[in-house]
Amino acid sequence: MKRGLLISLTGFDGVGKSTQVKLLLDYLRRKGLRVHATEAMFSYFALKPLICSLRAATASPALGPVKRNKNPLLKLWFIPAFIDIWLGYIFKIRPMLSKYDFVIADRFYTDMWANLAYYGYLPNWAFGIFLKLLPKPDKPFILSVDPIIVQKRESEFPPDYYEDQARIYQKLPKYVDFYIIDASKDPITVFEEIKKVCDLGKN
């Protein structure tokens, strides 16, 4: 059976991932292709029932991000998270790829890995080693932009959040062969660059 193409868009909050996903989705559907956009690769698969326990252990609120971890034992959370990523890819994403011509990931496992590092559930020594072992998309994009520009676009988080996240995301291309896209440009220009890399042809 023919397998669909997996396109992933990685980047910290506010860089424009969802905008590009919508542009790609609309473009590919107009061409009559079977296409599906999903955030499934930025969520847990079998570990979801344990998230409440993790929130309780870190005194985190019931909704939204968990608190940044300072417990050395909880840094081992990355181990079950890594296993869960592969389970989700095998049992959820692969079947999805058999149903569609294109699957577009609005955030990917690399984003989950960056967030585990940011929130303290992943030790520094394991970051790059396991990052290389995550499932790989066919066309991995990382949207790169100065956090100062993002802060002008949105103010959902404090300034140091964007700066800390940007530092982590800058490390990702050392371990993953991304197509790096300058997301400081206008959305249509960014979309045209992504479309060219994907060899999607003209409108």
Here the CATH number for the domain that contains residue 166 is 3.40.50.300
- The residue type at 192: E
| Residue 203 lies inside a defined structural domain of this protein | no
Residue 201: the pLDDT is: 59
| Residue 167 lies inside a defined structural domain of this protein | yes
Residue 202: the pLDDT is: 55
- Indicate the number of domains in the chain: 1
Residue 203: the pLDDT is: 52
Residue 32: the pLDDT is: 94
Residues 110-138 as b/e (b if ≥16 CB within 10 A, e otherwise) read bbbbbbbbbbbbbeeebbeebbeebbebe
- pTM of the prediction? 0.91
| Residue 20 lies inside a defined structural domain of this protein | yes
| Residues of the chain under the 70 pLDDT cut | 1-2, 201-203
| Residue 202 lies inside a defined structural domain of this protein | no
Residue 61: the pLDDT is: 76
| Residue 143 lies inside a defined structural domain of this protein | yes
Residue 48: the pLDDT is: 80
| Residue 173 lies inside a defined structural domain of this protein | yes
What domain range includes position 117?
A: 5-197
| Residue 13 lies inside a defined structural domain of this protein | yes
| Residue 24 lies inside a defined structural domain of this protein | yes
